Amino acid sequence: MILTRDNLLIYRYRNETVHVEPWGANAVRVRATKNPAFPENDWALASRPSAQAEITVSPEGAVLTNGKIRLSLSNNGKITVYNQKDERILEEDTRKFCALKIEAREFRPIPGGDYHLTARFQSLDPNERIYGMGQYQQPYLNLKGPDLELAHRNSQASVPFMISSLGYGLLWNNPAVGRAVFGKNVTSFEAFSTQALDYWIVAGDTPAELIEAYGSVAGTVPMMPEYGLGFWQCKLRYQTQEELLHVAREYKRQGLPIDVIVIDFFHWPHQGDWKFDPAYWPDPKAMIEELKSMGIQLMVSIWPTVETDSENYEEMLEKGYLIRTDRGFRVGLDFEGPTIHYDATNPGARKYLWEKAKKNYFDKGVKIFWLDEAEPEYTVYDFDNYRYYLGPNVQIGNLYPVYYARTFYEGQEAAGQENIINLLRCAWAGS
């Protein structure tokens, strides 16, 4: 059954519902679920630029046109996407009405109510070139052929937006741990635990046009402050206040330009204290004032880990501000002591951490933060073992760096800071 409502194209068959709607210029958002209703999440689609689609329904199906993109929806639910030249740029791979029984949108039930989702698309051109998807430890710029894990690890950031040489960009708008395979026969995306399929696709003539469109829905970076464009001095690591000041003074004595100097990890008594260790950093306020008198901004490293020996551990445990484990001990990373990460998806935990950081860093003059360990890093990446405020890691875990970034950005913004710049070790779409 195909229905239309305002700017929305709806397909229903048995227990599946599909929604297709314009989402910005030359773009559409496609969602599907087998639940009674769609989850109320836009994930990376932080904004919705206005767009008015043209929808036509015929005996063969329906067509939605929005500028340079045209989506065809057949009566059996198959989706095919065309550009303004009437060229196919994306086509679902469905063979459910033949002996193979292969579905383009396969929802395999998981005990508890969610689904293991696989979305399949035909490979329209074996010579297609695909770029993007974040940062992986591999030698391939062209992603046609590789099998990618949709998950964060130390030095791996999954940002599931791709650009194709066929003239489209596609955002896999799902924060679940999963997999993307850009094969010569089939392109597939998997979410190991989810409630809905959700992707956004845009057509355009150039990569720049596609990236600009992506920025219009996922967000763009703020203006870089002047000092952010200069030289940053960092090493592993300055151990004392006097050592750092000696380096800064020497830069000035020799007339060398420097705009930022960085205090890296373990300048704190324990992970999760989020403050300077007074034994090695006795007067941070005076140190920061001297640096500023030399025209130098101070950046400090923040880790999301909380040691069991931290002065904040018991309070955060009691208030539910720490990531949970579904089995075994509540330990996520064993590095210089057993730790678990604060739950960045919990608004109370974000407020708690920012208040500590504001008191111990921001109010003393620190305006730049290096948000390290942002994946978050686990000693063992048992994604199915960790549970967040927003849900199981395997379902929403790729959101963690987004909410980690929000912890500080929103706190700094509320405190009146402008042109905010922080360094984040990981990212997801929109962070």
pLDDT at residue 416, as a whole number: 96
Domain that holds residue 266: 226-424
Cβ-in-10-Å burial (0-12, 13-18, 19+) of 253 comes to exposed
Q: Determine what percent of the chain falls in helix, strand and coil, rounding each to the nearest 5.
A: 20, 35, 45
* Mean pLDDT of all residues in 163-184: 97
Domain boundary among 218, 244, 266: 218
Q: What pLDDT score does 218 carry?
A: 96
Question: What pLDDT shows up at residue 96?
Answer: 67
Same domain, 297 and 253: yes
pLDDT given for residue 102 in this prediction = 84
Q: Are residues 187 and 317 in the same domain?
A: no
Q: Do 11 and 81 fall into the same domain?
A: yes
123 pLDDT band, cuts 50/70/90, is very high
For residues 287 and 166, membership in a common domain is answered with: no
CATH number at residue 129: 2.60.40.1760
pLDDT of residue 367: 96
Report pLDDT for 431. Answer: 82
Q: Tokens for 259?
A: 């705009």
Check whether residue 109 and residue 44 sit in a common domain: yes
CB contact at 8 A, 397 and 175: yes
CA distance 415 to 326: 37
Shared-domain flag, residues 275 and 200: no
Residue 429 domain-assigned (yes or no): no
Domain boundary among 164, 187, 218: 218
Average pLDDT, stretch 182-191?
A: 96
Domain count, the chain: 2
Residue 175 CA to residue 201 CA, distance in Å, equals 17
Residue 430 belongs to a domain: no
Measured CA to CA, the distance from residue 265 to residue 202 in angstroms comes to 41
Could you tell me if 212 and 259 lie in one domain?
A: no
278 and 354: one domain?
yes
**pTM over the 0.85 mark:** yes
Same domain, 356 and 389: yes
Q: Are residues 102 and 62 in the same domain?
A: yes
In a domain, 17, yes or no: yes
Rounded to the nearest 10 degrees, what angle do helices 241-253 and 284-293 cross at?
Answer: 10
Give the residue from 153, 186, 218 where a domain finishes. 218
The answer to whether residues 210 and 101 belong to one domain is: yes
Sheet of 69-74, strands arranged across: 54-58, 61-66, 69-74, 79-82, 88-91
Residue 22 CB neighbour total at 10 angstroms: 26
* pLDDT value at 97 more than 80: no
Q: How far apart are CA 136 and CA 139, in angstroms?
A: 9
Residue, of 27 and 221, whose pLDDT is higher = 27
Amino acid at 242: E
- The verdict on 308 and 268 lying in the same domain is yes
